[in-house]
Amino acid sequence: MPSRAKPKGLDTRIPVLGPAKVESPLTYCHFVSDEQRVPIRLSPEDLDDGSQESDVLFEPAGPRDTIYFDSSKVKAAIVTCGGLCPGINDVIRAIVMEARHNYNVAATLGIRYGLQGFIPEYGHQIMELDHRNVSNIHEFGGTILGSSRGPQKPEDIVDALERSNIGVLFVIGGDGTLKAARKIYEEVTRRGTRISVIGVPKTIDNDISLVTQSFGFDTAVEKATEAIRCAHTEAIGAKNGIGLVKLMGRESGFIAAQATLALKEVNYVLVPEDPFELHGEHGLLPALERRLADRRHAVIVVAEGAGQHLLRQSGQTDASGNLVLGDVAKLLTSEIGAYLGERGMPHTIKYIDPSYIIRSVPANANDRVYCGFLGQFAVHAAMAGKTGMVVSKVYGRFVHLPFDLVTRRRKKLDLTSDYWRAVLESTGQFAISPMSKKGSPACPITGEMVRT
């Protein structure tokens, strides 16, 4: 049941399980009024409905003085799905600690191996999470609960929640997971059951709509720069040395772009949003040949989803239905080798794929702080009876976002933005990525408005 009138434009209303009548057990904090709204200026990209940038009102995250649940009697559960990302354990820890220490929640259960953990046939044991067994988990990457891909029926999941008498489900995962969470929420609503479903968006690609920066992204960029630095060292260590680094980014090149800005050695950054050509006036290969003739080394950073238009698509999908991408690094190494070979230009290519190292490291200090906030805000939202929503930081403010808003589209690099222009200026690759239009929208990473 929606809590209030629909604002113009995006529907930011957050469903609630019912009226909040229980006094919060929190005694020491500034409470957020449920009537409060935070105006946030969204860019046309965020709005994605053809309208100009405008202020949209969002429900602020934070503790309410009256809550829906009698927290000492409620049981919570946490599930983590999809690929690994730095900071998942930090979010789990923050949820368990907040629930236990501040709301005195009766129990928090850990669902093992993603959505499979709800289905009895898999035989995964449920983990009891408490302040003792989560206290050190932020020191480690990955997820202590394990994860999986592949669909499970929302009806079966809600059956499992009802069997275990769970009142709150925290779902940590990416685009696919949040779509699954939405279906769980819809099934709960259809049954009229009082279970709160709260998401914490996880995407190392930073591609979830309206989520200005997802947790783990900062760590991923930091780790990616180490790989690029190594690629540069390899490149300068040989005549016509080429360092090639493949980074995550299936549909959005944020990690590649941000790592490029962080480390100035990158000469070409290839992202899914900007389909590059190998040959011709704007071709990568002739540009690379010119660069090598001039400087004798080059560093190329490529997002895994770049150059798919140049690859034959297998049409295969993973267990969750995600398309299996063609191998752009293989394409680049063979095409570069053939092109330079034909021109009698001896060269070496050193290829580095740091993806699994980046995904599995513990979060850095910034991401730890961020994950702590997300976990705490998720618990505040759940206890207040909110449901069908995620907690997120949007342009510097922690707010509640309905599932619909975060699953409607992927966030992508804006190739007309000052941010992307800064990336191109850093690499100097205007020969292969000419900017088509001028613009000055919000920087998609930091959320700052960048003006020319």
- Binding Mg ion (rule: CB under 5 A), the pick from 176, 201, 243, 441 is 176
Active site residue 205: yes
Query: Is residue 366 exposed (0-12), middle (13-18) or buried (19+ Cβ within 10 Å)?
Result: middle
16-to-4, 78, 162, 192, 385 alpha-carbon distances in Å: 10, 19, 19, 12, 5
Q: At its nearest, how many Å lie between ligand ATP and the CB of residue 114?
A: 5
Q: Which residue's Cβ lies closest to ligand ATP? A: 82
Tell me the window of 177-185, 262-270, 383-391, 443-451 that interacts with ligand ATP (CB under 6 A).
177-185
Give the nearer residue to ligand ATP in terms of CB position, either 120 or 237: 120
Give the nearer residue to ligand ATP in terms of CB position, either 82 or 402: 82
416-to-27, 55, 167, 334 alpha-carbon distances in Å: 49, 21, 45, 31
Residue 412 binds what, of ligand ATP, Mg ion, none (CB under 5 to 8 Å, by partner type)?
Answer: none
199-218: which residues touch ligand ATP (CB under 6 A)?
A: 203
* Segments in 248-327 forming alpha helices (H): 254-262, 284-295
The number of residues that bind ligand ATP (CB under 6 A) is: 19
Structure tokens at 42: 């969204």
Q: At its nearest, how many Å lie between Mg ion and the CB of residue 175?
A: 4
Q: Is 249 among the residues that bind ligand ATP (CB under 6 A)?
A: no
Q: Is 74 among the residues that bind ligand ATP (CB under 6 A)?
A: no
For residue 200, which of 168, 232, 238, 223 has the smallest C-alpha distance? Answer: 168
Residues 67 and 20: their CA atoms lie apart, in Å, by 5
Q: How does strand 397-402 pair with strand 54-60?
A: antiparallel
| Chain centroid offset of residue 362 CA | 16
* Segments in 343-409 forming alpha helices (H): 355-360, 365-383, 403-407
281-320: which residues touch ligand ATP (CB under 6 A)?
A: 320
Of 46, 90, 205, 218, catalytic:
205
Q: At its nearest, how many Å lie between ligand ATP and the CB of residue 357?
A: 16
- Binding ligand ATP (rule: CB under 6 A), the pick from 183, 223, 232, 400 is 183
Tell me the window of 79-87, 256-264, 391-399, 442-450 that interacts with ligand ATP (CB under 6 A).
79-87
Give the nearer residue to ligand ATP in terms of CB position, either 138 or 359: 359
Q: Is 240 among the residues that bind ligand ATP (CB under 6 A)?
A: no
Residues 1 and 387: their CA atoms lie apart, in Å, by 10
Tell me the window of 75-83, 256-264, 291-299, 335-343 that interacts with ligand ATP (CB under 6 A).
75-83
Residue 149 binds what, of Mg ion, ligand ATP, none (CB under 5 to 8 Å, by partner type)?
Answer: ligand ATP
- As a dihedral over the C-alpha atoms of residue 96, residue 101, residue 107, residue 108, rounded to 10 degrees, the angle is -10
Judge contact between 220 and 194, C-beta under 8 A.
no
Residues 400 and 396: their CA atoms lie apart, in Å, by 13
- Binding ligand ATP (rule: CB under 6 A), the pick from 18, 151, 275, 280 is 151
- Binding ligand ATP (rule: CB under 6 A), the pick from 164, 322, 416, 446 is 322
Tell me the window of 25-33, 130-138, 170-178, 379-387 that interacts with Mg ion (CB under 5 A).
170-178
Instruction: State the DSSP code for 40.
Output: E
Q: Is the dihedral of CA 14, 18, 24, 30 positive or negative?
A: positive
- Binding ligand ATP (rule: CB under 6 A), the pick from 175, 187, 367, 414 is 175
Q: Which residue's Cβ lies closest to Mg ion? A: 174
Q: At its nearest, how many Å lie between ligand ATP and the CB of residue 296?
A: 39
Q: Is 249 among the residues that bind Mg ion (CB under 5 A)?
A: no
Q: Is 175 among the residues that bind Mg ion (CB under 5 A)?
A: yes
Residue 183 binds what, of ligand ATP, Mg ion, none (CB under 5 to 8 Å, by partner type)?
Answer: ligand ATP
Residues 222 and 262: their CA atoms lie apart, in Å, by 8
- Binding ligand ATP (rule: CB under 6 A), the pick from 62, 87, 176, 375 is 176
Query: Is residue 451 exposed (0-12), middle (13-18) or buried (19+ Cβ within 10 Å)?
Result: exposed
Q: Is 54 among the residues that bind ligand ATP (CB under 6 A)?
A: no
Residues 4 and 192: their CA atoms lie apart, in Å, by 20
Judge contact between 312 and 336, C-beta under 8 A.
no
Q: Is 98 among the residues that bind ligand ATP (CB under 6 A)?
A: no
Residues 6+ apart with CB under 8 A from 127: 109, 110, 111, 112, 133, 144, 145
Q: At its nearest, how many Å lie between ligand ATP and the CB of residue 207?
A: 8
For residue 214, which of 67, 363, 99, 113 has the smallest C-alpha distance? Answer: 363
Q: At its nearest, how many Å lie between Mg ion and the CB of residue 447?
A: 22
Q: Is the dihedral of CA 261, 307, 433, 412 positive or negative?
A: negative
Q: At its nearest, how many Å lie between Mg ion and the CB of residue 325?
A: 12
Judged by the rule CB under 6 A, the positions of this chain that interact with ligand ATP are 81-83, 114-115, 149-151, 173-177, 179-180, 183, 203, 320, 322
Judged by the rule CB under 5 A, the positions of this chain that interact with Mg ion are 174-176
Residue numbers annotated as active site? 205
